[in-house]
Amino acid sequence: MFLGVDTGGTFTDFVLFDGQVLRFHKVLSTPDDPSQAIEQGMRYLGLDASTLHLVHGSTVATNAILEHKGVRTLFVTNNGLEDVLIIGRQTRPELYNLTPEPEAAWISHEDCMGISCRLSADGQELVPVDLNAGDILNRKLEQGGYDAVAVCLLFSFLNPVHEQFLAEEICPDVFTSLSHQILPEYREYERGATTFLNAYVGPLVQRYLRRLESKLVPKHLFVMHSAGGVMSAEAAGEQAVRLILSGPAGGLVAAQAIGQQTGVKKLMTFDMGGTSTDVALLDGAPAMTTEGSVAGIPVALAMLDIHTIGAGGGSLGWIDAAGLPQVGPESAGAQPGPACYGLGGDLPTVTDANLLIGRIPATAKLGGSMSLDIAAARQVFEEFGREIGLTGMQAAEAVVRIAEEHMAGALRVVSVERGINPVEFSLLCFGGAGGLHACALAEKLGMDRVIFPVASGAFSALGMLAGRQQGQFSRTRRLLLDDDVTVSALFDLFAELEREAAASMQGLALTFERRVDIRYAGQGFHITVDMYDDDEENVQQQLQQRFEHAHSRAYGHILQRPIELMTARLTAVVKQESLRFPLCSTRGEALPVGFSEVYGVGTVPHYRREELPAEFSCTGPALIMEDTSTLWMPEKWQMRVDSYGHLMLERT
């Protein structure tokens, strides 16, 4: 049996697949101890953990960074570079602001330490490591009460000998993060920041996963990582920084699978949960980036290119200094949650607004069991509306419209702002609240097609079941793409990475995917291109053609300059059969199960999604309801159920 579990800021989602039937469930998250919600959901589903292949999407690392609640960490580098994390890139988020608010540093100077040693730019030893460095370092760790240490030395990606020496000297009780293991690539600030974050959250993630494994004792426990694959719990504990997008990555993995099922390759994804909204673009496959960041600090690992904003079902409505209504990014979270949850929330949220205007029927039960308190939602919006001169219903509609503008803006970031026309794409919406706003967002972007997939309310958890077990490996070597010697060196570098992958993922049958970071000589940034051909004679020409095509598409021109290969990237994928999900039933009748009022529209019918057979169709306005989500289909939209149970919507 396969169980996908996605822990979000408001809800924890479950997808269970026994080889024939999919089951979905949703419970409120327990932020103080995420494992409590997992245990609660498994009890409801009546599961024996010892039979489970469990894949988990965890927010432990992300939340610890966002809330600055990681462990006390010592940063160790070469003498003279102690302040690299404090200085950073000195980039200004507001270019023309002459008096910007200074950002708080992630680390103090007292928590940084320099070691006497030095390598040259080609990895040769210039200054040997101080033989007393280990004793000095351990005294510093003991006196400062540090739980973790991050070691990032110059050019260790070319020669790790100095970092390895320090690792052997450090007390084994202290969590140790080495840059040549976490990110063996150039750019000291990004490498140092990523290594520091790994140490900062590593002990927390390690303890959480070990506690979860000891509590549940599943047959297998894997964790989704930011590049869209899954890794063992042990590996996740050692490389916790790879879990920054653990939950949202599952949604893109599932989206790619849906695109393959439906034959729709061009997809924009819209994942609206209780706390945030994640958007991304797929053109056959999700885009990857190595320029991610979290809470203002870079994470230079390969990860899925996902744009996140603070707009979810729990986003709070508030009034700014000018007396205008605003929404988010603050959220009611899981505790107390929106007012309609009846758990003590007393501020208006997007979920309260959707309930009040009728997009969520008053009879709905979240997760199949949680009743909603419409009287509480009405009360908070009447109070909110009085402050801005609106009725409660008008205020609720205003909050929904403002939230939709924020989300449409996020979709434009990954499309229009990158020179991509959203009209050519279909909007794939998921998350517990995604279906409530999908059609409105599609209209704002001029899109005519919306896909509401199976398990939409727990879609990221579904993606965890479809995720491949894989590892990411990389190495920076600066090579000019100009002769056969370069190509031979590149193949030698990939062979080295393949040996590293085989040693790291012992006993597993692997296939490999190769990519190369390429730039023009003198450029500060690169473009990553796929490398498919194993024939050394053709690689040079093909890499050049792919790079020039990508450069022209991104910047509108190519240059007559030498081309440099900067970083080789290898994805090692475990050979395994992909999961095959069941087809939708072709039998049964689809009749409305009820009717209710939607503000500004009138009376609309309700349909239960699980009762809709394949090829069933209807036109809006209508509400399609299931235990984990609700789809609001307004006028001028038509829906058809495909053979897999996905709801395919088109604007008529």
pLDDT tens, position by position, 49-97: 888 899 999 888 988 888 888 999 999 999 999 999 999 887 777 888 8
Q: Above 80 in pLDDT, residue 511? A: yes
- Please, what sign has the CA dihedral across residues 344, 347, 350, 353? positive
Q: What is the mean pLDDT of residues 281-293?
A: 89
pLDDT in the model for residue 344:
87
pLDDT at residue 579 tops 70: no
Q: Compute the average pLDDT of residues 444-448.
A: 95
CA distance 193 to 199: 10
pLDDT tier, 467 (very low <50, low <70, confident <90, very high otherwise): confident
55 in Cβ contact with 467 (< 8 Å): yes
pLDDT tens digit string along 349-393? 999 999 999 999 988 887 667 789 999 999 999 999 999 999 999
Average pLDDT estimate for 227-255: 91
- Strand, coil or helix: what is 426? strand
Residue 565 pLDDT class (50, 70, 90 cuts): very high
Q: Averaged over 340-348, what is the pLDDT?
A: 89
Under a CB-based contact definition with an 8 Å cutoff, are residues 603 and 358 in contact? no
For the ranges 90-104, 203-217, 220-234, 267-281, the lowest mean pLDDT is seen at 90-104
Share of the chain above pLDDT 70, in %: 97
Report the chain's C-alpha Rg in angstroms: 26
Check the CA dihedral 474-475-476-477 and report its sign: negative
Mean pLDDT, rounded, for 562-570: 93
3-state secondary structure 206-255: HHHHHHHHHHHCCCEEEEECCCCCEEEHHHHHHCHHHHCCHHHHHHHHHH
Residues 125-165 pLDDT 10s: 999 998 899 999 999 999 999 999 999 999 999 999 999 99
pLDDT at 294: 86
**Mean pLDDT, residues 29-52:** 89
Residue type, 541: Q
* pLDDT category of residue 474 using cuts at 50, 70 and 90: very high
Domains and CATH numbers, the chain: 2-66+206-246 (3.30.420.40), 73-201 (no CATH), 470-574 (3.30.1490), 594-651 (no CATH)
The more confident residue out of 327 and 581 is 327
**Do β-strands 148-151 and 125-127 pair in parallel, antiparallel, or remain unpaired?**
unpaired
Decide if pLDDT at 256 tops 70: yes
Claim: this prediction has a pTM higher than 0.85: yes
- CA gap 437, 429 in Å, rounded: 9
CA distances from 86 to 61, 95, 108, 109 (A): 21, 20, 8, 8
* SS3 state of residue 611: helix
Place of tokens 């432990």: 60
Does residue 13 carry a pLDDT above 80?
yes
Q: Is the dihedral of CA 1, 574, 578, 305 positive or negative?
A: positive
Q: What is the pLDDT of residue 73?
A: 96
